[in-house]
């Protein structure tokens, strides 16, 4: 077996920009080269085998081939006690070379020409630096300086094959360092800033000795209340910033000791690093944020000695879980890159602090009405002001004034144009616009609406609808060019649906399609969406209700004045908060479900909810109304994010697919751009645009809050062309953005996020995703659960340089860690998850190829599976102990055709419990329980015995902290329960019989267990324990041949045991043929060979170093002729090898 390392998701511990467009990332032992403009991985190189790269140091001089754009740089990469020197050759883009023309592939060629590895050194490396002969740096550096953890420095000559040490200096303070950073590139200027374990920062010169031969400390910076995790100098060496365990940053002056130290608070956890970038400080922390602050020294100087404000200018939240470990700033000081524990690499724009983080009115355009005489006859005490406004284009808005004037303003030339004047619209006007058709629809107090064109392409129209005030208006565009729909709401609840047609005449034709019957619920509609394909009108209300109307006239194009009533009334969709917007998207038809719609609602609870509408009968004949509480669709109420169950009506199926909170404020709108979902919202008096897929705020504008009139229109996914306008102090305040698409182009997410905390459960799906599809090539899908409470479904995608684990679906429903995952295939594909707080949940997983790709043409290397995960049920809590955890589970279908599944669960209260899950009832039923170990259970599995008299036997195997394995015969209790259940009665649960076989395998807890059947029907039982041992047993199960068969065990040989199989506790065991794979917290994957020719023996076959810290779970699968091994801990690693069939 020759396992090859492939996909890896782990800690990003170091990064640096090689150029403005090439980012170097150290992840585990690998060095990756990314093009930040496209997000493409250019190259990947193994630099420090068996170690993590802690820092990358670029030589501050480059060699360039004249006229070619090919440059060469040297890089130092170090980690632990090892250091590597690399020579990198790369091509600089024409833009960076200052040429006028641009090549699309300007930075696509990067290669590592040469690599030298040094070490191990005798101490832990804290920093390294290139040393030149003089400050001109005309010649490459011939020496490197290395700072070690015991506060001493060594200088090595690297011109020879083996580095030669030619300088050693110990600081007079002989203490342990938590961090260190060099300043200077010659021996004469070389200074070390050392962060000590005693909470101090010591600055000392490397080439200076006192009488005792030690380097004296020149600056002793005292003030931190915790150890020092990071130190940085500014470009001139005048200032130093230190970050600490005490959650503060401190900026010290090294040129003037009399200047006070500035202390900055703001992070909510430990700070790992901080960069000084001109007038900014950029810090990263354990709290998963990257924050930008003013440099108080520079700002104070610029403001003439005034005390600088140290408020946070930006807080970038793009990582999950905990820890942003690394940070880098581009040479042009425009981009910031961050790398987290979640394996994600994100890019942030420093320029966006001003462009995307609008703080002051100076960044906005404020427009007031022109002089009254420019559009109205003179009058005394006119009391004229803007009553309402709408956006009609990116540079145009229209206003209704208090005197009934409709005016249009063009920001490109600053001109106002009068469109109409109507005294009926004095003192009140509700306005809506359709930017695509330049339509302006307004309502007044007398029940009339006015329809005008922003460019006066037709004469304004006025229609009488009712006798009361028009409360709201909604305008939407048809799929047919020139056709628009207008929904009007009166204050007394009357609703009208009109169609405006401009296709064939100069003057538009308007006709009433339907009167809309109000809901029997108390509802005030504040948002609508129309779907012509299914003749639906969806409305959201201030009372959190969702109404769905069928509109027959949309299909027939005929008017029908008969009122139509809602066919669906869904209450409490956002608790007690208003439904602020509804958005509809077509749903691709698959074998899992027919054609339908995706419905996105946003609410003032800060959440957005995704519903799936299928089985939509377009006729709607004899369809009764469905009235349901949305909370009843929730198995257990949760305020974070949810995957829920189904409501069915004769002609429509509504599935609540997903709910997620994106802001603590109000979510006010949703829009799709380039296939990505964006949520518009307000929080702390700021308007925000949130990218759901990438998890960050793209735009943030201080506007005073959502209680004022506001509008937002957008053209592209990067918000390069957008306008946000709001009404404040009788003026229209607007942000007009017209960014060039070629200006500051970069990919925000270079490397996708994985779990942000330790992964505790992993399970490959295998054929579980192919229940309803016949794939030409089966995709490799893996389910993972972690301490971040997330369940992730991911797909392996092969690549040129490395494979990737691409997230397909993330679900947050568990309240604590997920410890076990199991697939089971019945009538549907089910996924069972369990963990702390006695949580056991069942999910229905639907999967199909993306829209337009048949399963026969699906290519896992190019296409991503479309997968959904709907929660069906949660098991009841049965333990008397509140803190009971479900440590492990094992599931299998007992009757797949009926949708019946058995799930065996090991509980921390030492109880083994068997559950029946029924797909039809969507419920768990307790079958049996039993206690034998009297200790906390750790592992559970099952196997089936085919030759049992009377039918297949079911054997449950459990392990616990007592080091024992116990075998339970569960056949009778399961069959009795199933037989009774099929008759329509639910019997009470029974007690499991005492284990028929047990043995002591380990000295303490048994963390891992696997069983495999041999050709002769005998079993190999392998276990790994907390005692570092691997134990293998060879047994056969037989049954007595009479009316009540009793199970017994025949030992085929003595138990084989490797007492020191690993240097630490074994956390995973799997059997593949005659090989056993074990993984341990010593980060080793060992392969053992099993021999049963003469008794039972095991011997070492191979060993591999695993790059995932604290590996805690392992799974494997054979698919498409390849053995895949997945190992999870603080990250995830996939290994593979081709095997013979």
Which pLDDT score, from 0 to 100, does residue 640 have? Answer: 40
Counting beta carbons within 10 angstroms of the beta carbon of residue 2, is it exposed (0 to 12), middle (13 to 18) or buried (19 or more)?
Answer: exposed
Please identify, among 849, 874, 899, the residue that sits at the C-terminal boundary of a domain. Answer: 874
Indicate the SS3 state at residue 880: coil
Residue 474 is assigned to a structural domain of this protein: no
Are 529 and 652 contained in the same domain? yes
Instruction: Read off the pLDDT of residues 307-348 as tens digits, 9 standing for 90 and up.
Output: 445 667 778 888 989 999 999 999 999 999 999 999 999 999
Which of the pair, 816 or 694, is modelled with greater confidence?
816
What is the pLDDT at residue 162? 87
- Total domains in the chain come to 3
* Measured distance CA(450)–CA(428) in Å, rounded: 13
Could you write out the three-class secondary structure of 885-898? CEEEEEEEEEEHHH
Specify whether 530 is located in the same domain as 657: yes
In the predicted model, what is the mean pLDDT of residues 583-593? 72
Phi (first) and psi of residue 343, to 5 degrees: 75, 0
| 650 has pLDDT over 60 | no
pLDDT at 304: 40
The CA distance from 636 to 410, in Å, is 52
Q: Is 300 helix (H, G, I), strand (E, B) or coil?
A: helix
Residue with tokens 């399609």: 513
- 856 vs 842: CA distance, rounded Å: 30
Judge whether 1108 and 11 are in contact, CB under 8 Å: no
Q: Is the pLDDT at 889 greater than 90, yes or no?
A: yes
pLDDT of 697 higher than 80:
no
Tell me the mean pLDDT in the region 1041-1069: 91
Tell me the percentage of the chain whose pLDDT exceeds 90. Answer: 70
Give the tens place of pLDDT for each residue, 983-993: 989 999 999 99
Beta strands in 36-175 (DSSP E): 40-46, 55-58, 63-64, 70-79, 82-91, 110-118, 125-131, 143-148, 152-157, 164-170
pLDDT score for 583: 95
CB atoms within 10 A of CB 124: 16
**645 or 366: which leads in pLDDT:** 366
Distance, in Å, from the CA atom of 972 to the CA atom of 969, rounded to the nearest integer, reads 8
781: pLDDT confidence band, cut at 50, 70 and 90? very high
Query: Strands across the sheet with 4-9, in order?
Result: 4-9, 1131-1138, 1122-1129, 1113-1119
How much is the pTM? 0.77
835 vs 590 pLDDT, higher one:
835
Q: pLDDT tens across 231-248, in order? A: 999 999 999 999 999 999
Report how far apart, in Å, the C-alpha atoms of 327 and of each of 173, 301, 1001 are.
Answer: 29, 27, 47
Average pLDDT over residues 145-168: 95
Do residues 506 and 482 make contact, with C-beta atoms less than 8 angstroms apart? Answer: no
Helix (H, G, I), strand (E, B) or coil at 231: strand
For 944, the token pair is 């089936």
The residue count of the chain comes to 1141
Across the chain, mean pLDDT equals: 89
Q: Cα separation of 1030 and 1040, whole Å?
A: 32
- Domain range for 558 is 525-661
**What tens digit of pLDDT does each residue of 407-436 get?**
999 999 999 999 999 999 999 999 999 988
**Is 725 part of any domain?**
no
Domain C-terminal end among 840, 874, 908: 874
The residue from 610, 641, 661 where one domain ends is 661
Evaluate if residue 693 carries a pLDDT over 90. no
Mean pLDDT of 970-975: 95
The pLDDT, as a whole number, for residue 1111 is 97
* Owner of token pair 């009254």: 372
Domain-located, residue 410:
no
Quote the pLDDT of residue 473: 97
How far is 825 from 807, CA to CA, in rounded Å? 22
Residue 749 pLDDT grade (very low, low, confident, very high; cuts 50, 70, 90): confident
The pLDDT value recorded for residue 592 is: 55
Report CA dihedral (914, 916, 917, 920) to the nearest 10 degrees: -170
- DSSP lists the bridge partners of residue 491 as none
- Rounded to an integer, what is the distance from CA 275 to the centroid of its chain? 26
Q: Would the pLDDT of 875 be above 50?
A: yes
Average pLDDT over residues 567-574: 90
Average pLDDT estimate for 55-61: 94
Q: Measure the CA–CA gap between 1011 and 633, rounded to whole angstroms.
A: 40
Name the one residue in this structure whose structure tokens are 């296409």: 863
- Per-residue model confidence (pLDDT) at position 644: 46
Task: Starting at the earlier edge strand, list the strands of the sheet with 911-918.
Answer: 886-895, 900-907, 911-918, 923-931, 990-991
1077 falls in which pLDDT band (50, 70, 90)?
very high
Going from the C-alpha of 542 to that of each of 2, 574, 772, the distances in angstroms are 62, 10, 41
Whether 775 contacts 64, CB under 8 Å: no
Neighbour count for residue 506 (Cβ, 10 Å): 8
Binning pLDDT at 50, 70 and 90, where does residue 383 land?
confident
Average pLDDT (553-561) is: 65
Three-state SS for 865?
coil
| Mean pLDDT along residues 628-635 | 59
107: left (phi over 0), alpha (psi -120 to 50) or beta: alpha
> What are the two backbone dihedrals, phi and then psi, of residue 192, each rounded to the nearest 5 degrees?
-115, 130
Q: Is residue 592 part of a domain?
A: yes
What tens digit of pLDDT does each residue of 339-376 get?
999 999 999 988 877 777 787 888 899 999 999 999 99
53 touches 90 (CB < 8 A): no
Query: Where in 132-270 does DSSP place strands (E)?
Result: 143-148, 152-157, 164-170, 177-183, 191-196, 200-205, 217-222, 228-233, 239-244, 249-253, 262-264
- Both tokens of 68, joined, read 């070619």
pLDDT in tens, 133-155: 998 888 899 999 999 999 999 99
> Looking at the domain assignment, is residue 851 inside a domain?
yes
Inter-CA distances, 261 with 178, 254, 296, 675, 1000, Å: 21, 10, 10, 49, 63
Q: Which residue has the higher pLDDT, 493 or 8?
A: 8
pLDDT band at 458 (very low <50, low <70, confident <90, very high): very high
987 within a domain of the structure (yes/no): no
Instruction: In whole angstroms, give the CA distance from residue 493 to residue 985.
Output: 50
The pLDDT value given to residue 632: 60
> Token pair 């992070």 is at which residue?
267
The 10s digit of each residue's pLDDT in 664-682 is: 899 999 998 887 889 999 9
pLDDT at 625 (0 to 100) = 62
* Maximum Cα–Cα distance across the chain: 113
Q: Report yes or no on 409 lying in a domain.
A: no
Is it the case that residue 645 has pLDDT exceeding 70? Answer: no
Find the mean pLDDT for residues 73-99. 84
Bigger pLDDT: 1101 or 594? 1101
Closest CA to 844 of 879, 810, 868: 868
Distance CA(680)–CA(701), nearest Å, equals: 12
Contact by Cβ (8 Å): 175, 151: yes
Q: How far is CA 980 from each of CA 927, 974, 976, rounded to the nearest angstrom?
A: 11, 10, 6
Same domain for 650 and 773, yes or no, is no
DSSP codes of every residue in 909-928: TSEEEEEEEETTTTEEEEEE
Flag whether 394 is in a domain: no
């Amino acid at each position: 077996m020759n396992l090859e390392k492939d996909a890896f998701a782990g800690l990003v511990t170091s990064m640096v920009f090689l150029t403005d467009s090439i980012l170097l990332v150290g992840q585990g032992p690998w060095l990756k080269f990314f093009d930040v403009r496209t997000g493409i991985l250019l190259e990947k190189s193994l630099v420090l085998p068996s170690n993590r790269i802690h820092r990358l140091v670029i030589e501050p001089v480059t060699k360039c081939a004249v006229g070619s754009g090919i440059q060469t740089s040297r890089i130092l990469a170090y980690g632990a006690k090892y250091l590597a020197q690399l020579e990198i050759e790369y091509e600089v883009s024409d833009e960076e070379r200052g040429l006028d023309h641009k090549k699309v592939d300007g930075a696509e060629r990067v290669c590592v020409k040469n690599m030298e590895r040094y070490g191990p050194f005798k101490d832990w490396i804290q920093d390294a630096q290139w040393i030149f002969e003089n400050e001109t740096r005309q010649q490459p550096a011939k020496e490197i300086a290395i700072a070690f953890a015991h506060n001493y420095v060594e200088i090595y000559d690297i011109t020879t094959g083996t580095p030669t040490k030619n300088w050693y200096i110990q600081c007079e303070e002989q203490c342990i360092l938590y961090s260190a950073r060099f300043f200077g590139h010659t021996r004469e200027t070389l200074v070390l800033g050392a962060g000590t374990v005693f909470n101090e920062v010591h600055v000392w010169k490397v080439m200076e000795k006192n009488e005792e031969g030690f380097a004296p400390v020149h600056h002793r910076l005292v003030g931190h209340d915790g150890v020092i995790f990071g130190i940085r100098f500014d470009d001139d060496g005048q200032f130093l910033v230190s970050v600490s365990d005490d959650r503060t940053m401190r900026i010290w002056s090294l040129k003037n000791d009399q200047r006070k130290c500035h202390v900055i608070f703001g992070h909510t956890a430990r700070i790992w690093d901080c960069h000084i970038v001109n007038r900014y400080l950029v810090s990263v922390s354990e709290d998963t944020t990257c924050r930008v602050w003013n440099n108080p020294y520079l700002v104070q100087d610029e403001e003439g000695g005034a005390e600088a404000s140290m408020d946070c200018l930006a807080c970038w939240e793009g990582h999950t879980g905990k820890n942003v470990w690394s940070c880098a700033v581009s040479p042009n000081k425009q981009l910031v890159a961050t790398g987290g524990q979640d394996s994600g690499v994100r890019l942030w724009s420093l320029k966006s602090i001003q462009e995307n983080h609008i703080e002051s009115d100076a960044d906005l355009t404020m427009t007031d009405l022109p002089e009254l005489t420019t559009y109205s006859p003179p009058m005394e005490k006119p009391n004229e002001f803007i009553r309402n406004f709408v956006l009609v284009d990116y540079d145009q808005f229209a206003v209704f004034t208090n005197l009934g004037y409709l005016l249009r303003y063009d920001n490109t030339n600053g001109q106002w144009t009068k469109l109409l004047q109507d005294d009926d619209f004095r003192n009140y006007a509700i306005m809506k616009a359709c930017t695509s058709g330049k339509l302006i629809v307004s309502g007044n107090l007398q029940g009339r609406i006015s329809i005008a064109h922003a460019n006066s392409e037709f004469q304004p129209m006025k229609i009488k609808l009712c006798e009361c005030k028009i409360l709201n208006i909604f305008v939407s565009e048809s799929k047919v060019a020139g056709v628009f729909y207008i929904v009007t709401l009166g204050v007394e609840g009357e609703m009208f649906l009109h169609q405006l047609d401009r296709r064939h005449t100069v003057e538009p034709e308007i006709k009433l399609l339907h009167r809309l019957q109000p809901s029997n619920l108390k509802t005030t509609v504040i948002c609508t969406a129309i779907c012509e394909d299914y003749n639906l009108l969806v409305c959201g209300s201030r009372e959190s209700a969702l109404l769905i109307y069928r509109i027959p006239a949309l299909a027939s194009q005929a008017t029908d004045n008969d009122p139509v009533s809602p066919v669906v009334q869904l209450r409490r969709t956002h608790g007690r908060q208003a439904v602020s917007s509804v958005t509809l998207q077509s749903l691709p038809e698959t074998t899992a479900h027919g054609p339908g719609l995706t419905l996105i609602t946003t609410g003032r609870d800060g959440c957005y909810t995704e519903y799936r509408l299928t089985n939509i009968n377009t006729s709607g004949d004899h369809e009764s109304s469905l009235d349901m509480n949305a909370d009843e669709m929730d198995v257990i109420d949760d305020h974070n994010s949810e995957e829920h169950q189904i409501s069915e009506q004769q002609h429509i199926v509504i599935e609540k697919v997903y709910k997620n909170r994106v802001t603590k404020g109000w979510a006010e709108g949703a829009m799709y751009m380039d296939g990505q979902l964006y949520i518009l919202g307000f929080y702390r008096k700021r308007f925000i645009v949130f990218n759901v897929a990438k998890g960050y705020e793209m735009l943030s504008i201080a506007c005073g809050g959502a209680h004022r009139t506001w509008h937002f229109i957008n053209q592209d996914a990067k918000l390069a062309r957008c306008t946000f306008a709001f009404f404040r102090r009788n003026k229209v305040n607007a942000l007009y953005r017209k960014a060039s698409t070629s200006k500051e182009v970069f990919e925000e997410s270079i490397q996708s996020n994985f779990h942000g905390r330790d992964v505790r459960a992993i399970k490959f799906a295998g054929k579980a995703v192919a229940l309803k599809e016949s794939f030409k090539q089966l995709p490799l899908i893996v389910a993972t659960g972690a301490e971040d409470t997330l369940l992730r479904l991911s797909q392996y995608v092969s690549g040129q340089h490395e494979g990737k684990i691409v997230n397909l679906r993330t679900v947050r429903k568990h309240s604590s860690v997920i410890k076990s995952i199991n697939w089971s295939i019945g009538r549907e594909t089910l996924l069972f998850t369990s963990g702390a707080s006695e949580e056991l949940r069942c999910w229905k997983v639907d999967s199909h190829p993306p829209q337009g790709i048949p399963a026969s043409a699906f290519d896992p290397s190019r296409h991503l599976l479309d997968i959904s995960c709907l929660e069906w049920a949660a098991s009841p809590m049965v333990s008397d102990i509140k803190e009971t955890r479900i440590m492990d589970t094992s599931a299998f279908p007992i009757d797949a055709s009926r949708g019946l599944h058995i799930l065996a669960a090991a509980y921390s209260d030492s109880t083994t419990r068997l559950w029946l899950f029924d797909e039809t009832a969507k419920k768990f039923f307790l079958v049996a329980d039993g206690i034998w170990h009297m200790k906390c259970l750790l592992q559970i599995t099952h196997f089936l015995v085919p030759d049992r008299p009377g039918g297949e036997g079911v054997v449950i195997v459990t392990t616990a902290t007592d080091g024992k394995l116990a075998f339970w015969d569960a056949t009778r209790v399961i069959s009795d329960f199933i037989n009774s259940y099929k008759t329509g009665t639910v019997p009470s649960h029974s007690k499991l019989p005492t284990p028929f076989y047990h043995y002591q395998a380990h000295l303490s807890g048994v963390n891992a267990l696997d069983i495999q059947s041999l050709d002769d029907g005998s079993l190999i039982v392998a276990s790994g324990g907390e005692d570092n041992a691997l134990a293998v047993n060879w047994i056969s199960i037989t049954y007595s041949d009479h009316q009540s068969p009793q199970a017994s065990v025949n030992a085929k040989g003595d138990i084989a045991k490797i007492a020191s199989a690993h240097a630490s506790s074994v956390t995973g065991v799997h059997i593949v043929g005659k090989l056993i794979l074990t993984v341990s917290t010593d980060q080793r994957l060992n392969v053992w060979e099993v021999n049963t020719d003469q008794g039972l023996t095991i011997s070492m076959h191979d060993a591999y170093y695993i790059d995932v810290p604290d590996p805690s779970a392992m799974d494997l699968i054979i698919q498409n002729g390849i053995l895949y091994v997945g190992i999870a801990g603080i990250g995830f690693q996939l290994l593979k090898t081709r095997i013979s069939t």
